[in-house]
Structures are given as C-alpha cells and as structure tokens.
Amino acid sequence: MAGTRDIRLEERPDPVILAPRDVIVRVVAACVCGSDLWGYRDFGNGRERLMGHEMIGTIEQVGDDVAALKVGDFVISPFSLSDGSCQSCLAGSTSVCDHVTFFGSRDEDHHPVDGAQGELIRMPLGESSLVVVPGPVDDALIPHLLALSDVASTGHHAAVSAHVGPGDVVVVVGDGAVGLSAVLAASRLGASRVIAMSRHADRQAVAREFGATDIIEERGEDAIVALRALLDGDLADAALECVGTKESMEQALGSVRGGGRVGFVGVPAGGPELHIRELFDRNITVGGGMAPARAYIPELLAEVLSGAIKPGKVFDLELPLAEVAEAYAAMDERRAIKVLLRP
Amino acid sequence: MAGTRDIRLEERPDPVILAPRDVIVRVVAACVCGSDLWGYRDFGNGRERLMGHEMIGTIEQVGDDVAALKVGDFVISPFSLSDGSCQSCLAGSTSVCDHVTFFGSRDEDHHPVDGAQGELIRMPLGESSLVVVPGPVDDALIPHLLALSDVASTGHHAAVSAHVGPGDVVVVVGDGAVGLSAVLAASRLGASRVIAMSRHADRQAVAREFGATDIIEERGEDAIVALRALLDGDLADAALECVGTKESMEQALGSVRGGGRVGFVGVPAGGPELHIRELFDRNITVGGGMAPARAYIPELLAEVLSGAIKPGKVFDLELPLAEVAEAYAAMDERRAIKVLLRP
C-alpha cells in the first residue's frame, strides 16, 4: 500500500531464514481485511507498507532450531504472532503476548516481517504461532481454514468476551465479515436468539446461514426500539460490537439489559472512552480487544474439519493475487464482503 | 443526616402498611456504610435524609397480599429492593431491577421509604427482596448475617464480575469493609493467591483472616513494581477495584496482565471514563457496578449458617443505635472499619 487507494503488486526477493527459529511459508491463500481498508481509504501520512495478516500455507523451509514444524506441513497463521511462553500466552491471551509481532512490521531483531498478501513469507515465532492442519487438505476447505486466521477467531472472541452461553439472546452490531463471524460464534455457543443488525441483503443471507434468528435493519435509537419490539419490551443479554465506532459501541451498550455483557472487537476508531458511571449504574461488563486467534484456532479447526462450521462463507469473491488491487476496490465499494486471494 | 458531620437520632412515628404488599420489619441490627461517609464528609447542597441501607430484622407486620413472609420471620434485606420478576431480576441482576427502590428514597407510589438505621421500617417490595433465615438465629451469627446485606455481597460481586476462579492470582485494591469482603470472596472462589493492597495493620489482619496470601503497602506505580516483584515479573489475572476513585481504577487496571479482568464495585467518584483503546490493546475485561445482593444472599447465607465463612469480621465496633453519630465519627476517623448498630 503506497497511498490512498493505491495498492501495488511488486516483485520482491524470496525471503531467507534470518534466525534459527524462523520458518518460511509458501502462501496457499491470503485475503484482505476490513481493517486494511482504513489506510486504503485514508493513507494520511502513512509509509509504504507490506499488506496482509491472514494466511494459510505450507512450510517451505525451517530454521535449525525449529522442531515442531516440518517442510510440507499445512499451516494456519493467526493474524498476530506470539511466543507461546509468556504469562499472557500461557493464560490463552496470545494476542497480548509479551513478544507479539505483526505481519508487515518488524520482529524482535528489527528484521522486517513480510505481509501475508504474498507468495513466500519469512515468519519469526513460527513454531509457537502456526497451527498445523493434519492430513491432506481438500481444496473446498481452503476458505474455511483461511477464515480461522482472523475473522472467525475475532467473531469468536467477541462472543467469548461477552460470555455468550446457552439460552442467551445476543445482538450483533456490524455485518462485515467479523460481525457475520460473531453471529456464527454466538450461535455455536448456544445462544437461543441471535439478532443481526444489517441492512444489506447479501450480508443478511450469510447471517441467516450462520444462525441469525432475526434481522434488524434500523440504526441508532430506532434499532433499540425495534429490538424491544422484537423482545416484548426486553433487551439482549449480550451484544457483540464488531465495527469500532463510537456509534456502534453506543448501539451495543444500548442493546443490552441491566447486567448485560458487551464483547467488542472493532478496533476503536471513535470516542476514546467508556462512561464508567453508565457501566456501573447498569451493571454492564465490557470486554474484548484483539482476538487471541492462536489460542482459538485448534478448537475451531476441529469443527471446520468435521464440517460442523463453515466460517469461510464470508468469502464471496476469489481473485488471483495478481488482482490484489481489485480485491481492495471490491471491498471498498462493498461489491464484496471479503475477498480471498490465491498466489 | 442533616449536614456535614451532622448525624441526628430523631423520634419518628411508627411506620404503617401503606400498600397491600408492604411489610414492616423490626430492625435487629443495622450498620454504617463507607458510602454513607461521602455525604457525611461533604454534605454539599444535600437535603436532610434518612440513613442506612443494610439491615437484618424480624417481620413485624405484613400487608394483605403478602404470602411468602409471616410475622416473626428473621430476614436479611439486600441494600436495594427489587421486584423479582423483571428481565434483569430473572437474569440475577437484581440491583438493576426495573423497579429498583432504595432505602431513604421514595417507592413507586411516591411514599417515602425508611432508612435502615432505625427501629421499624416499612418496606415496599419486601416479599421479593427479603431473604428469610431459617430456624432460630444465634446471636453470634448477627454480624455475619448483617454483612450479607451489602459488603459481603458487594465483595462477592467484584470477584464474580472479574470471573475469579480456581488458580487465579487476584489483587484487591481497597482495604475498607468491601475490599476485605472481596478478599474473602476471591479466596472462597478458589484464587490461589490473593494480594491485598493495604497499609493499615488492623485491616491487613482481617485480610489475612479472609484469605489474603500477600499484602502490598505501596501505592500507585510503586504498588505495580511491588506486585511484579512478588510475582516474578508477572501481573495478576484479576483485580478487584473496591474504592471508586480514578487512582484506584488505574491501580486495578495496572495490576492485571494482558487478557486480565477487572471487577469494580467502588461507586465511581473519580474520572468519568475508561480508555477503551487501552482495554482493547491489553484485552482487559471490566465489569461490575452495584451488587445484586438479593441474588447472592441465598448462596452466601448457606455458608454463613454452616460456619464456612464469617464475613461479619469486618465489624470491629458495635454501638447502640442511640450512639449512631459516634458510629459515623469512628468510621470517618478510621477508628473503626465498620460499625454495627443495635436498636
């Protein structure tokens, strides 16, 4: 990404092992994230950068100190890399690892880390971050495996952070790929009713496939009125905030009953604060942040492999990596929910 | 309370049943709450008011429509009264009941509600709020039963809101009666380590009795340094904020690891907001508010009756109701942690 709406496909030297714990992965599929669109729409004073943080692939090469991965392994990469051994990782919060490392940034040795929208990627912390998919991988599984890299795990984090459980009435604010994934997660965790807030027919259809029992098209105060009408005057037990604006957080907070829970995974782009007095007075719990995808993938992977969940339905367009610029444009112009890229 | 440091004991007419669901309770014991001290220290433009919201007693009289309580029943009153039938009550969040009613305020019919620091109290919503203590009540149980009315339930709420469970390392910020009760709650819920932040020897002693494994006397940044030293560089899994100031909330947030949980029950008196970006970046969950004491009392009562917990140890001074002004002064001047009053 070199500027506003300026995505360039460039030839770069093949990556090489720089440290004994590095691995090189050959990308099988990557994708564009809703969060990639922020810089796309307003690059501001940004610096040219390598894009992509969601990826599945095969191990191409391993450093001398790598024991748990071998050449040919099919792997899923979580969108953030973690050491697997710090206090937060051991507690399952891999996204706030003491050594958390991001695609397109720098590793601990100050070496640049590749972006996932590419062909070959050098990965630090590969052994503690990548999850191996057992057995031969059917091509039909590709989108579902790729979804675990970020959106399915992030939607799951919204539901886990809101402690969604059997019988809960859950509202999902946001109908992007993460919001839709949150619908799937809430449904999977036993919610009796999952109410998707969406005004786009294509997204409503995926929401229904993912288990949404109701759709609310209204926004703001009108959405709360519609919600109360739907629930005979009641409100939801939990709301999953999957946008990241001040308005979406207010909608989530307004959707839950006293004692309710809000799980938030939209990167906060709006107001910088939560009114603690409101939380206190209404006994609302708020939790979330970046999903610990590494910790969630094994559990979700088992259900992808069994066919119990198909989180890859959020991908409604597939393009070759050569058309990566078009992938961004399609998502920016809402012609696609999420675009899968194949090198 | 008629002004700053102005507590008056006054003779008032005996209350009478005003509605068919009212009950009249004869107070056996009441007490002064840390939150009562705010108005005591700075009455501001407040109006003269009836004080007290914690109480145990016996049923003196019941309205015609009261079925579940009978004259002579020994009861514990939660500090807020609830209808037991709205969505929040049914979900266990009785403190945010649609018809929540407070001592010393007005009921739904605009009748004044008595304060608990008295001899006889008319109670609206008595049937759905009061919890009957079975069998004869030994006098030695009085402080422990009274503690359930607020502080033990509030400490429990801090721990429940922070999802304290077996093996957790828990920090408690605040060494008032609520903070000490939170130590007991965290310990009871299985925390492997409970670190009380306190610099008062008498309170440290109660904290130890309640299960505190460690004490930190430092405050602010120094407290976090001391905590890391205690935990070999780590931080706590959960922190219980039992004060309500901006500084205490910051101390609680700073005490937990990435992915940690903060339960807060101190009435927010400081900064009005939480920085959502910090919560997001550190994956911290924050929850709390006024405790749903009515929902918690039955579970805690069973353990008081079995002798498993002795939450009344927070009472270190007992006075006759006639000396209520001295009770306030003793707490204000920190000569007592919490004062029990007997009419």
- Residue A295: pLDDT band (50, 70, 90) is very high
- Amino acid found at A320: P
Domain B23-150+292-342 CATH (choose: 3.90.180.10, 3.40.50.300, 1.10.3720.10, 3.20.20.70): 3.90.180.10
Nearest-Cα residue of chain B relative to residue A283 = B289
Whether A248 has its CB under 8 Å from any CB of chain B: the answer is no
Which range is least confidently modeled, B119-133, B243-257, B262-276?
B262-276
Q: Is A292 left (phi over 0), alpha (psi -120 to 50) or beta?
A: beta
**Tally of CB atoms within 10 A around B307:** 9
For CA atoms A80, A83, A88, A93, the dihedral sign is positive
Which range is least confidently modeled, A167-181, B164-178, B238-252, B317-331?
B238-252
Residues 34-53 of A with CB under 8 A from B: none
pLDDT recorded at residue A254: 96
**Comparing C-alpha atoms, which of A64, A178, A62, A177 is closest to residue A130?**
A62
pLDDT recorded at residue B272: 59
- Residue A200: pLDDT band (50, 70, 90) is very high
- A126-160 per-position pLDDT tens digit: 999 999 999 899 999 999 999 999 999 999 999 99
pLDDT recorded at residue A274: 85
Cβ contact B287–A272 (<8 Å): no
Instruction: Reduce the DSSP state of residue A38 to 3 states and report it.
Output: helix
Q: Is residue A180 predicted with pLDDT exceeding 70?
A: yes
Contact (Cβ atoms closer than 8 angstroms) between residue B230 and residue B214: yes
pLDDT recorded at residue A18: 95
Contacts of A337 (CB under 8 A, 6+ apart): A176, A177, A180, A202, A203, A206, A314, A315, A316, A331
Dump the DSSP string for B238-254. Answer: EEEE-S-SHHHHHHHHH
d(CA A15, CA A46): 24
- B6-17 per-position pLDDT tens digit: 999 999 999 999
Cβ contact B281–A274 (<8 Å): no
Chain B residues lying within 8 Å of A235, measured CB to CB: 87
* Element at A330 (helix H, strand E): helix A324-332
State how far the alpha carbon of B193 is from the alpha carbons of B180, B211, B243, in Å. Answer: 14, 9, 21
d(CA B72, CA B23): 12
d(CA A334, CA A316): 11
Contacts of A236 (CB under 8 A, 6+ apart): A168, A169, A170, A171, A195, A227, A255, A256, A257, A260
ipTM score for this prediction: 0.91
The structure tokens listed for A89 are 């990782």
Return phi, psi of residue B171, to 5°.
Answer: -105, 140
In terms of CATH, what superfamily is B152-288?
NAD(P)-binding Rossmann-like Domain (3.40.50.720)
pLDDT recorded at residue B277: 87
Only one residue has tokens 């919490």, namely B338
- A233-277 per-position pLDDT tens digit: 999 999 999 998 889 999 999 999 999 999 999 887 766 578 888
Cβ contact A287–B286 (<8 Å): yes
d(CA A224, CA B94): 22
d(CA B188, CA B308): 9
Whether A29 has its CB under 8 Å from any CB of chain B: the answer is no
Strands A214-216, A101-102: parallel, antiparallel or unpaired by DSSP? unpaired
State how far the alpha carbon of A75 is from the alpha carbons of A14, A57, A127, A340, in Å. Answer: 19, 5, 10, 17
Return phi, psi of residue A104, to 5°.
Answer: 75, 5
- Residue B271: pLDDT band (50, 70, 90) is low
pLDDT recorded at residue B53: 97
Only one residue has tokens 């130590």, namely B183
- B287-311 per-position pLDDT tens digit: 999 999 999 999 999 999 999 999 9
Select the residue from B85, B93, B193 to test the A interface by mutation, using most A Cβ atoms within 10 A. Answer: B93
- Amino acid found at A147: A
Domain with CATH 3.90.180.10 in chain B: 23-150+292-342
What is the pTM for the complete model shown?
0.94
- A49-89 per-position pLDDT tens digit: 999 999 999 999 999 999 999 999 999 999 999 999 999 99
Q: Distance from B192 to chain A by nearest Cα, in Å?
A: 15
Domain with CATH 3.40.50.720 in chain A: 152-288
* Element at B88 (helix H, strand E): helix B87-90
- A3-57 per-position pLDDT tens digit: 999 999 999 999 999 999 999 999 999 999 998 998 999 999 989 999 999 999 9
- Residue B275: pLDDT band (50, 70, 90) is confident
Chain A residues lying within 8 Å of B272, measured CB to CB: 273, 275-277
Contacts of B37 (CB under 8 A, 6+ apart): B328, B331, B332
Instruction: Enumerate the β-bridge partners of residue A342.
Output: A320
Only one residue has tokens 């919001």, namely A179
Nearest-Cα residue of chain B relative to residue A157 = B283
Beta strands in chain A (DSSP E): 23-31, 55-62, 74-77, 80-81, 101-102, 120-123, 131-133, 169-173, 193-197, 214-216, 236-241, 256-264, 273-275, 285-288, 317-320, 339-342
Contact (Cβ atoms closer than 8 angstroms) between residue B2 and residue B40: no
Chain B residues lying within 8 Å of A261, measured CB to CB: 287
The structure tokens listed for A116 are 């996932």
Rg (CA), chain A: 20
Identify the DSSP state of A113: P
Instruction: Enumerate the β-bridge partners of residue A238.
Output: A170, A261
pLDDT recorded at residue B270: 61
pLDDT recorded at residue A272: 58
Q: Distance from A92 to chain B by nearest Cα, in Å?
A: 8
- B44-79 per-position pLDDT tens digit: 998 999 999 999 999 999 999 999 999 999 999 999
The structure tokens listed for A23 are 């691995």
